[in-house]
Structure 1
Amino acid sequence: MTAGVSFEAFAERFEAEPGYLDFARMGPVGTTVLGEEQAMMTLLAHSRYGTLSTLDEQDARVRDAVAAVIGFDPRQVSFQPNTSQGLMHVMFGLTGEVAVSSADFPSSPFAITRAADALGAVSPRWLDSDHGRITPGNLRDQLTDSTVAVAVSLVDFRTGYVVDLEGIRQVIGDRLLIVDAIQGFGIVDAPFQVADVVVSGGQKWVRAGWGTGFLALSDRAAEHLVPVFSGFSATDTEGTPLDEVPPPTRGVGAFEVSNPDPIAQARFAVALEEIADVGVAVIAARLAEQTARIIDMADEFALDVVSPRDDAERAGIVVVEPAADRLTALTASLHNHGVTVTTRQGAVRLSPHVTTDDETFAMLRSSLVAYSV
């Protein structure tokens, strides 16, 4: 894609408070997203003659915006309110064995388990991972002739490890490749075109708020998947079907339960339009500098970094693991200095964004100084 906005202009649209290092959990929205929501809410509040058509136009707009970032055709994209619902559509629509790591974020393991228990058409093949990382090497020997699909996370939520999508595609052959992209969507310049299914939400790195997401299907995936949860808005009938239940439409449009929230679509669309304007590759390069800065600080204070150090394997996440008897002291020091992070399973996850400022890094340093005393 061609970047049309300078990085500086992009960064100026965000006003997050200093001390926030938890973008892997939730990304504070920017002024453009706020303005878009306010504009759409004004339309909804007044509902003047003809204004509702603007709300109706948001579906095509958001599909165009998603397609511009992932390289799919807009006709292959469906808006979803979150990642988990998109994955539920996928897992309930499959038949056969799906390989997935039990160490993956719960969205995929829950979706496949619920589908297996309810319908019995799909079954999980639980993958062994290398400390949570799925690689082409450790995946190859775990596949069977019954494996019809492989589900991976673009970025491991525990370590920030970026999966090798192209390598995995080569290993799995013509099996469906399902990608839960949320932990890297908007900051990782990934080859999404090698995947058959891409699912993500917009509340993290895209900074569009909750209630935003998408499901994208290759034509092959659309043919394989059965639209189990397909509502009245997902037919070829013009308008709302009345007095009959027509079959689902063909393609990704069948994987819809009801009319989507146009205001959420507008928030997601404008956030993605901004990302496309500046370029994901530019954002990824700037974010690599931010995470490297945190790694250098962790090394300075002798904190064990358990996330990848290689830029190619690292998204926006740095994970440090203090000695077990020092974890409470570290989390308390971060809290006392106003630094927001995620602590899980004995480790501390720090996730900046390109807009993270020097004041935040100064707050982090102060917390580490206090911790090391």
Structure 2
Amino acid sequence: MSGYASEKGALSRVTIDDYLAGFTEEPGYLDYGRVGPLTRVAAEETYAFTHVLERARYGSLDALRQQDERLRQAASALTGFTPDQVVAVPNTTTGLMHAMFGLTGTVLLSPGEFPSLPIAAVRAQEALHAVQPAWLETDHGKVTPGLIRAQLESNVAAVAVSLVDSRTGYLCDLEGIRQVIGDRLLIVDAIQGFGVVDAPWQLADVVVTGGQKWCRAGWGTGFMAVSDRAREQLTPVFSGYTGTEEPEVWDEVPPPASTARAFRVSNLDPIAAARFAAAMEEIAGVGVDAVNSRLAENVSRVIDLADEFAIPVSSSRDERERAGIVVLEPEPEHITVLSASLHNHGVTATTRLGSVRLSVHAVLSEDTVEMLRGAFVSFNTAATY
């Protein structure tokens, strides 16, 4: 990505130090895979536009109306999709529902994906009987090109996958998957990697993400990017009055727009859009590759620390197969002890289904490292007895 970002419409360069200075959370936070505390620029946009809405001076609300285009421009800069191929959605799940309800035919996906994806596929099947889920058998949660090739039937119209698996931290190979599936639609749930993984987004037909995790833009933020091919094949089942090409819709029901706009249900929250746009502009300004480089160093440091205390790491150690998630998987009888040790030392993490997930971003302070070290010392001591 280029070293520029759009700041309320103007291009500006962002240094890595500027970006890192926007992490203002307290030490011990390692849970970006659940929610990322607001970046400074997102918080500032919230304050600024809330004040605009609060005062509502003559002409000031025009700035709020401009945030939809701003968000789409920012998403375009990071993905390579054109602004007309992007539509704002309030969260990842809404975009995935649009994609699944719009499909016709069989969609191949893992039942172990984050529930948003398989539930959307099943709900669409139950409601419209137009899409049929085909359940992919995975390698302990990893969706690989080889597994897809082995299970790809001729009737499969689309393949859906998470860029990063939320439980294993596995970073899928989009290039390999595209080569295997040919011209079938590729739908990507990007929430666990967007903003920190410089993925080949143009290989996908549908990219859906929210901004509340690695982009640190808060809830109520997201977008859905749709290729021209996908727009032709997906039916915009949930298409509201703002999803047409008419600026004013009265006394008629026009067809959905020919662009991604067709998937709009209503007007977006402009303050949420401003937050997300600001966060994406900052990321584009510093470059996703620069963010990923710092993140990769920090992930390696956390893995090394776990190794020092002989705490099993079940997520991949290969940088090509990981993003920011480190999964610790001690013996089942020790999981509660590890979770309690992290809690007692002020480390925020996610414990789920017999494992502890540490989500590491581009900032890893020495205070956080020492807190994590203290938790591991306590765990080792307690586990021994």
Under a length normalisation based on structure 1, what TM-score does the superposition of the two structures give?
0.99
Match for residue 330 of structure 1? 338
Aligned positions of 1:52-131 closer than 5 A:
52-131=61-140
Contact 2:294 2:363 in 1 (8 A): no
- Equivalent of 1:28 in 37, 48, 53: 37
Cα distance in 2, alignment partners of residues 5 and 244 from structure 1: 47
1:155-197 alpha-carbon deviations (Å, 9 max, x no partner): 0101111100000000000000000000000001100000001
Unaligned runs of 5+ in 2: 4-12
1:348 aligns with 2:356: yes
Match for residue 278 of structure 2? 270
1:285-339 alpha-carbon deviations (Å, 9 max, x no partner): 1100111011001111111110000111110010011111111111111111110
Match for residue 292 of structure 1? 300
Cα distance in 2, alignment partners of residues 244 and 46 from structure 1: 35
Cα distance in 2, alignment partners of residues 137 and 30 from structure 1: 38
Under a length normalisation based on structure 2, what TM-score does the superposition of the two structures give?
0.96
Cα distance in 2, alignment partners of residues 362 and 266 from structure 1: 36
Match for residue 10 of structure 2? none
Match for residue 7 of structure 2? none
Aligned positions of 1:99-178 closer than 5 A:
99-178=108-187
State the Cα distance separating 1:64 from its structure 2 match: 0.4
State the Cα distance separating 1:108 from its structure 2 match: 0.7
- Equivalent of 1:320 in 299, 322, 328: 328
Cα distance in 2, alignment partners of residues 30 and 229 from structure 1: 32
1:258-301 alpha-carbon deviations (Å, 9 max, x no partner): 01111110000000000000000111111001110110011111
SS at match of 2:243: coil
How many residue pairs get matched? Answer: 372
SS at match of 1:230: coil
Contact 1:21 1:350 in 2 (8 A): yes
1:50 aligns with 2:59: yes
1:256 aligns with 2:260: no
Cα distance in 2, alignment partners of residues 2 and 120 from structure 1: 44
RMSD between superposed Cα atoms in Å: 0.7
Cα distance in 2, alignment partners of residues 14 and 121 from structure 1: 45
- Equivalent of 1:228 in 228, 234, 237: 237
1:75-120 alpha-carbon deviations (Å, 9 max, x no partner): 1000000000000011001100000100101111011100000000
Cα distance in 2, alignment partners of residues 46 and 62 from structure 1: 23
SS at match of 1:304: coil
Cα distance in 1, alignment partners of residues 254 and 331 from structure 2: 60
1:15-51 alpha-carbon deviations (Å, 9 max, x no partner): 1111101001000002211110111011111111111
Which AA in structure 1 matches 2:376?
L
Cα distance in 2, alignment partners of residues 299 and 316 from structure 1: 17
After TM superposition, the runs of 4+ consecutive aligned structure 1 residues lying more than 2 A away are none
State the Cα distance separating 1:151 from its structure 2 match: 0.1
State the Cα distance separating 1:356 from its structure 2 match: 2.4
Which AA in structure 1 matches 2:197?
V
Contact 1:223 1:251 in 2 (8 A): no
1:203 aligns with 2:224: no
The percent identity for this pair of structures is 58
